[in-house]
Amino acid sequence: MSVSSATTEMVDPVPGAAAPHLPQQPDLVQLLSPEGERLEHPEYSIDVSAEELRDLYRDLVLVRRWDVEATALQRQGELGIWASLLGQEAAQIGAGRAMAAEDTAFPTYREHGVAWTRGVDPLHVISLFRGVDNGGWDPVATRFNLYTVVIGAQCLHATGYAMGLQRDGAESATLAFLGDGATSQGEVNEAMIWAASFSAPVVFFCQNNQYAISVPLERQSRVPLYQRAAGFGFPGVRVDGNDVLAVLAVTRAALAAARDGQGPTFIEAFTYRMGAHTTSDDPTRYRLASELEEWKLRDPIARVKAYLSRTGVAGPEFFDAVEAEADELAARIRSGTTEMPDPPGTAMFDRVYAEQTPHLAAQQAQFEAYQASFEGGGH
Amino acid sequence: MGQLRQFKLPDVGEGLTDGEILQWLVSVGDTVTVNQPLCEVETAKAAVELPSPYAGTVTELLFEAGTTVDVGTPIITIDTGGDAPAPAPAGDGAEPAAGLIGGAAPGGRTAVLVGYGPRTTEARRRPRRAVHGVPAPSSSPSPSPSPSPAPVGADYGSGGQERPPLLATAPDMTTKPVRHGGLEVGRQAEAHAIAEGAAPSSAAVPGRGRQRPLAKPPVRKLARDLGVDLTALTGSGPGGVITREDVTAAAAGPQAPAVDPAPDLTTDLTTDLVPAVAAVPSSAVPSPGERVPVKGVRKATAAAMVASAFTAPHVTEFLTVDVTRMMKLRSRTAARPEFAGVKVSPLLFVAKALLLAARRHPMVNSSWDEAAQEIVVHGQVNLGIAAATPRGLIVPNVKGADRLSLVELAAALGELTETARAGRTAPADMTGGTITITNVGVFGVDTGTPILNPGESAILAFGAVREMPWVHKGRIRIRQVTQLALSFDHRVVDGELGSRFLADVGTLLSDPRTALAY
């Protein structure tokens, strides 16, 4: 090997990772083609009612609208940052709707769609990104844990929680969300080893959106991600992450197996982040426009709409009504965001401990006195 | 007319301070809707479209495309209609209502921003309240003659009770305990600069721009160790960052440390043959943005370097050498009576080694004659020494250097140095060179890729001699190590010859006894 080649990284394309080959992947679970045709799969089948289908469509549209509005609000200076889910709506709605009421989700910071399915108010999520609270929805009431910004850490939380459920004899499971980049994190691997060793009722739901910020999947793994599960000793499934029905079916099955004592499953939802990693990122610096165009043809919402129209499950009135509802939601998010009050400076003392310590109380008092020493009153 | 709203350039990427308006997507008179893209803005992080926060009619674009605008500055005015107060002239009166975007939010913040940077007037920190009974803050913590003397700590939690500010005074620089070592010297230098008010330059005005010179931590440490005041330097790195080279050059320069550090190899070297770095007046340093006419030595240097670089195909090879023995020999030689009147520098031995090696490989001491299509092998070595002088780079040479004894060579180099430093080098001394040494080590650098003096076939760069961990006789020892770089004209000298020549120079420096065998 010559000197130059020894210092140059040579990475072969990951089989199946390149977008153009997606339809040819034999191991990709798909129940709704990008053209909106219903497909059958030998292992995963699903029977959804017309109403469920319409609800899924509504979820997808509303969540996308929320996301688009939040991105605009960031561009207008109303949010410090926003992590967009654009393109990943089906993966999140499918996974969220697969959960039973007693299951608990452990999200990253992008699971707005899952938050939606758990009944978390969009404004509560937005307040975190506006920097006026610390993301304080009730994780017990919603069964939706707080957003975790540390990459992969939530997989340990989900595994530990699942082991607790196991010891309590509860018949519920946890759903740990992670991205493709997180699979390279130590926490994720540790979580999977624990989960496998104890057959913990946890499902690892990986949204492979092809990029860890700017790092492409080829730099994370030489094998398709779902195949990694075999190394840990539990099943791995690759599902079309832009197919809400397939995600719903696969996640339901995995959660059911977990509740049944059959241990963890790794789900690789093969999808694409249509927007930037966050509003601080410029994806045109590391992605080709042709790749984006390719994925536009696999839009997760268009295929559901096509299927609804073709089968007569929904017509123009329904679609218009959903659009109108999306407009209302966007307006509520806009006004709710700009009217969000700033928290008092002392809010940071409120939730450090369940019960405030004397030391902390003294600090708070000192801080309040300091604030009061400025002209024009408190804060 | 309705209500005029202004949209301020937001921080679209966590901590940005400005952005360039690439293009406007709307014009004055256009009707815009909420979230309609207004313009494209490029920041340090990304090029993004800014969507409109208002629906209405565009009444003014406040900046042209291509302008870089600070975050928080209004960029567009939109008439949102409605029965709002009559429009004021753009500028003063157009301040939007409180609570609206661009207006003051509860808490004295500008509602447009969540991130950093764009705090404008209304977001400024309010002045501290006057504290009753407490005189102007003094540096001595005198007991407070407060009318209601309370036990310390009793006012915690007492609501609005006023008390002296927590941080009324800046730390007093003069009361710092003095410790030993360069670290403290550097701190004192910094403190001194601050205490002096230090501030003809805007860089030192608190709160505006940067008050701390830009330099990486290792460079700061080096500056402290060498006693160099960073605030006095102009950085040559990207964005004005002060580099290691800036610091070492400053340490070697005329404003050398007030404190004499322990005798050190670097400073020792710099006094050896620094033709004239020290003599370059700091006033000669051009100010940023100044356009310096190309003339004189600079013009001649430029022409010579271009001619050389683009006619002779250069190859550069490097060699790292343990020169401990050479440095010892140098000390012993300097002590000999016959060397009493001359300067015995490391360069002298490098020159001698080069001359001895050139005797074994005469082809390195030759010229390419393009017109005659011949290679001219010179009968003698006219050894050029690249010298930085107040007038610029010149390369005077020692004629017949190969026939000089060591003491004669030392005298010749000394004379050449003196003459160059005084700016009296005669033109004849600068022509007829056959091979050159450039002593980049005096600037504290390790090596370089020198460009041939036109007409010559080889040039040797001599780097700084440093104490380094080195494997010596099978053990790691602290040795004095330098780097040699040889550039040669590949038309004349092949890789084999160049390598052998460089290796011979290196061998002579690492083990000067080898000279007996040559």
Reading the block at residue B104, the tokens are 């003051």
3-state secondary structure of B182: helix
Given this model, what pLDDT does residue B128 score? 61
Q: Which chain A residues are Cβ-neighbours of B7 within 8 angstroms?
A: 76
More confident residue, B153 or A166: A166
Range of A150-154, B115-119, B133-137 with top mean pLDDT: A150-154
Cβ–Cβ of B48/A75 closer than 8 Å? yes
For A34-56, what is the mean pLDDT?
A: 94
Q: Which chain B residues are Cβ-neighbours of A284 within 8 angstroms?
A: 47
Given this model, what pLDDT does residue B237 score? 84
Q: How far does A337 lie from chain B, in Å, by closest CA?
A: 11
Are residue A133 and residue A191 in the same domain, yes or no? yes
Given this model, what pLDDT does residue B213 score? 82
d(CA A221, CA A243): 23
For B428-443, what is the mean pLDDT?
A: 88
d(CA B465, CA B441): 7
Given this model, what pLDDT does residue B436 score? 96
Reading the block at residue B197, the tokens are 């008010």
For A115-134, what is the mean pLDDT?
A: 94
Cβ–Cβ of B114/A282 closer than 8 Å? no
DSSP code at position B492: T
**What is the per-residue burial (b if ≥16 Cβ within 10 Å, else e) of A204-241?**
bbbbbbbbbeeebbebbbeebbbbbbeebebbbbbbbb
The residues of B carrying an active-site annotation are 490
Given this model, what pLDDT does residue A376 score? 64
Range of A10-14, A124-128, B231-235 with top mean pLDDT: A124-128
Are residue A359 and residue A314 in the same domain, yes or no? no
Contact by Cβ (8 Å): A310, A119: no
Q: How far does B277 lie from chain A, in Å, by closest CA?
A: 39
Read off the pLDDT band of B43 (50, 70, 90).
confident
Please name the member of A75, A341, A369 whose beta carbon is closest to the beta carbon of B12: A75
Reading the block at residue B500, the tokens are 């052998």
Nearest-Cα residue of chain B relative to residue A366? B156
Q: At residue B30, what is the residue type? A: D
pLDDT in tens, A292-310: 999 999 999 999 999 999 9
Given this model, what pLDDT does residue A377 score? 53
Cα–Cα nearest to A276, from A265, A267, A286: A286
Read off the pLDDT band of B393 (50, 70, 90).
confident
Q: Which chain A residues are Cβ-neighbours of B45 within 8 angstroms?
A: 280-282
For A253-278, what is the mean pLDDT?
A: 96
Please name the member of A334, A369, A374 whose beta carbon is closest to the beta carbon of B155: A369
Are residue A75 and residue A180 in the same domain, yes or no? yes
- The DSSP secondary structure of A81-102, one letter per residue, reads -----TT-HHHHHHHHHHS-TT
More confident residue, B161 or B507: B507
Given this model, what pLDDT does residue B417 score? 83
pLDDT in tens, B105-123: 444 333 333 333 333 434 4
User: Does A19 reside within a domain?
Assistant: yes
Residue-range definition of the domain harbouring residue A77? 15-338
d(CA B210, CA B207): 8
More confident residue, B7 or B178: B7
Examine the residue annotation and report whether A41 is marked as an active-site residue of this protein: no
Residue B150 has pLDDT above 50, yes or no: no
Are residue A271 and residue A360 in the same domain, yes or no? no
Cβ–Cβ of A342/B109 closer than 8 Å? yes
The residues that bridge with B42 in the sheet, in sequence order, are B20, B47
DSSP code at position B242: B
Given this model, what pLDDT does residue B254 score? 55
Helices (H), A49-172: 50-75, 89-98, 112-117, 122-130, 139-142, 153-168
Are residue A227 and residue A353 in the same domain, yes or no? no
DSSP code at position A58: H
Residue B360 has pLDDT above 50, yes or no: yes
Contact by Cβ (8 Å): A83, A155: no
- The DSSP secondary structure of A2-43, one letter per residue, reads -HHHHHS---PPPTTTSGGGGGG-TTEE-SB-TTS-B---SS
Are residue A109 and residue A131 in the same domain, yes or no? yes
Count: domains in chain A: 2
Percentage of chain A beyond pLDDT 70 is 92
Cβ–Cβ of B115/A341 closer than 8 Å? no
Reading the block at residue B226, the tokens are 């060498």
User: Does A74 reside within a domain?
Assistant: yes
Q: Which chain A residues are Cβ-neighbours of B49 within 8 angstroms?
A: 75
User: Does A235 reside within a domain?
Assistant: yes
Given this model, what pLDDT does residue A319 score? 97
For B475-499, what is the mean pLDDT?
A: 94
More confident residue, B125 or B90: B125
More confident residue, B265 or A27: A27
For B346-352, what is the mean pLDDT?
A: 95
CATH number at A295 reads: 3.40.50.970
User: Does A190 reside within a domain?
Assistant: yes
For B303-310, what is the mean pLDDT?
A: 84
Residue A126 has pLDDT above 50, yes or no: yes
Q: How far does B5 lie from chain A, in Å, by closest CA?
A: 13
Q: How far does B274 lie from chain A, in Å, by closest CA?
A: 39
For B83-100, what is the mean pLDDT?
A: 39
User: Does A311 reside within a domain?
Assistant: yes
Tell me the backbone φ, ψ of residue B51, rounded to 5 degrees: -85, 150
In angstroms, what CA-CA distances link B146 with A155, A368, B158, B179, B183? 57, 20, 16, 38, 41
Strands A265-270 and A202-208 turn out to be parallel
The mean pLDDT value of chain B amounts to 74
More confident residue, B48 or A29: A29
Are residue A106 and residue A126 in the same domain, yes or no? yes
Given this model, what pLDDT does residue B400 score? 93
Q: Which chain B residues are Cβ-neighbours of A280 within 8 angstroms?
A: 12-14, 45-46
Residue B423 has pLDDT above 90, yes or no: no
Read off the pLDDT band of A352 (50, 70, 90).
confident
Give chain B's domains with CATH numbers.
Answer: 4-123 (2.40.50.100), 179-261 (4.10.320.10), 296-517 (3.30.559.10)
Residue B340 has pLDDT above 80, yes or no: yes
Q: How far does A356 lie from chain B, in Å, by closest CA?
A: 15
**Strands ordered across the beta sheet of B74-79:** B4-8, B74-79, B56-61, B31-32
CB under 8 Å to A111, separation ≥6 — which residues? Answer: A85, A92, A96, A105, A147, A177
Neighbours of A140 (CB within 10 A): 8
Residue in the block written with tokens 């002209």: A375
3-state secondary structure of A364: helix
Percentage of chain B beyond pLDDT 70 is 68
Contact by Cβ (8 Å): B346, B465: yes
From A112, A238, A259, A277, the catalytic residue: A277
Read off the pLDDT band of B475 (50, 70, 90).
very high
- The DSSP secondary structure of A219-249, one letter per residue, reads GT-SS-GGGHHHHHTS-EEEEETT-HHHHHH
Are residue A247 and residue A376 in the same domain, yes or no? no
Residue B148 has pLDDT above 50, yes or no: no
Cα–Cα nearest to B411, from B357, B330, B339, B354: B339
Neighbours of B98 (CB within 10 A): 11
pLDDT in tens, A333-345: 999 999 999 988 8
Please name the member of B14, B50, B126 whose beta carbon is closest to the beta carbon of A75: B50
> Does ipTM come in above 0.90?
no
Are residue A206 and residue A273 in the same domain, yes or no? yes
Read off the pLDDT band of B200 (50, 70, 90).
very low
More confident residue, A175 or B292: A175
d(CA B471, CA B467): 12
Give the burial class of B72: count Cβ atoms within 10 A of its Cβ; 0-12 exposed, 13-18 middle, 19 or more buried. buried
Count contacts between A and B (CB, < 8 Å).
104
Given this model, what pLDDT does residue B253 score? 67
Are residue A326 and residue A356 in the same domain, yes or no? no
Range of A133-147, A298-312, B78-92, B157-171 with top mean pLDDT: A298-312
Contact by Cβ (8 Å): A75, A69: no
For B341-347, what is the mean pLDDT?
A: 91
Are residue A201 and residue A349 in the same domain, yes or no? no
For B296-301, what is the mean pLDDT?
A: 76
d(CA B378, CA A372): 86
Q: Which chain B residues are Cβ-neighbours of A361 within 8 angstroms?
A: 157
Residue B477 has pLDDT above 80, yes or no: yes
Roughly how many angstroms between the first and final C-alpha of chain B, as a whole number? 97
User: Does A2 reside within a domain?
Assistant: no
Range of A174-178, B40-44, B302-306 with top mean pLDDT: A174-178
Are residue A373 and residue A333 in the same domain, yes or no? no
Cβ–Cβ of A77/B45 closer than 8 Å? no
Given this model, what pLDDT does residue B271 score? 35
Residue in the block written with tokens 């990475």: A11
Cα–Cα nearest to B55, from B9, B99, B7: B7
Read off the pLDDT band of B82 (50, 70, 90).
low
Q: Which chain B residues are Cβ-neighbours of A339 within 8 angstroms?
A: 99
- The DSSP secondary structure of B104-151, one letter per residue, reads EETTTEETT-SSSS---GGGSPPPBPPPTT--S--SS-PPP--SS---
Residue in the block written with tokens 């402290």: B224
The residues that bridge with B394 in the sheet, in sequence order, are B387
d(CA B265, CA B248): 12
Read off the pLDDT band of B209 (50, 70, 90).
very low
For A35-53, what is the mean pLDDT?
A: 93
Please name the member of A72, A338, A342 whose beta carbon is closest to the beta carbon of B51: A72
Contact by Cβ (8 Å): B435, B459: yes
Please name the member of B11, B108, B162 whose beta carbon is closest to the beta carbon of A373: B162
- Ranking A163-172, A217-226, A359-368, B412-421 by mean pLDDT, the lowest is B412-421
Residue A37 has pLDDT above 90, yes or no: yes
Tell me the backbone φ, ψ of residue B396, rounded to 5 degrees: -70, 155
Contact by Cβ (8 Å): A180, A225: yes
User: Does A7 reside within a domain?
Assistant: no
* Maximum Cα interatomic distance, chain B, rounded to a whole number of Å: 102
Strands B68-70 and B397-398 turn out to be unpaired
Tell me the backbone φ, ψ of residue B64, rounded to 5 degrees: -80, 155
For A205-231, what is the mean pLDDT?
A: 94
pLDDT in tens, B221-242: 888 888 888 888 888 888 888 9
Given this model, what pLDDT does residue A25 score? 64
**What is the per-residue burial (b if ≥16 Cβ within 10 Å, else e) of B124-141?**
eeeeeeebeebeeeeeee
Cβ–Cβ of A77/B8 closer than 8 Å? yes
User: Does A5 reside within a domain?
Assistant: no
Reading the block at residue A115, the tokens are 């938050």
Residue in the block written with tokens 């004295």: B108
Long-range own/partner contacts, residues B290-299 (CB < 8 A, 24 or more apart): B296/B391, B296/B392, B297/B389, B297/B391, B297/B392, B297/B393, B297/B394, B298/B392
d(CA B201, CA B211): 10
Cα–Cα nearest to B395, from B354, B438, B365: B438
Read off the pLDDT band of B211 (50, 70, 90).
low
d(CA B96, CA B235): 43
Given this model, what pLDDT does residue B180 score? 38
